[in-house]
Amino acid sequence: MGRGYKHVSSFSPNDSNTIVDRTGFKVKLSETMKTWEGWQVIEAAWEPRQPQDFPITAQKQQVYKDARSEQARPSEEALPPPTPL
């Protein structure tokens, strides 16, 4: 074994061995990251989720009808005649 080489199967408290989903290599769990797809990968192979997965679309403008009912509006016939000045 060379210097700086850490054997994967060596004991490490609170750290288990795992298999990287993309490469199939055996590494320690602390050396991996979970992707948005749920895969365990090493930090060098980790990629963020693409922004194109969440497109921004234009919202349709909502048009509301007049909230007042027809009965609440005064009709032309019900108005008093204008007074001369």
pLDDT band at 67 (very low <50, low <70, confident <90, very high): low
Residues 6 and 2: their CA atoms lie apart, in Å, by 9
Is residue 6 in a domain?
yes
Total domains present in the chain: 1
Question: Which domain range does residue 8 map to?
Answer: 1-43
The tokens describing 7, both together, are: 């054997």
For the entire predicted model, the pTM comes to: 0.51
pLDDT single digits (tens) 1-26? 455 556 667 777 888 888 999 989 89
Tally of CB atoms within 10 A around 45: 14
Q: Is 77 part of any domain?
A: no
The answer to the question of residue 57 being in a domain is no
Strand ranges (E), the chain: 17-19, 26-28, 32-34, 40-42
Q: Choose among 35, 25, 31: nearest CA to 12.
A: 31
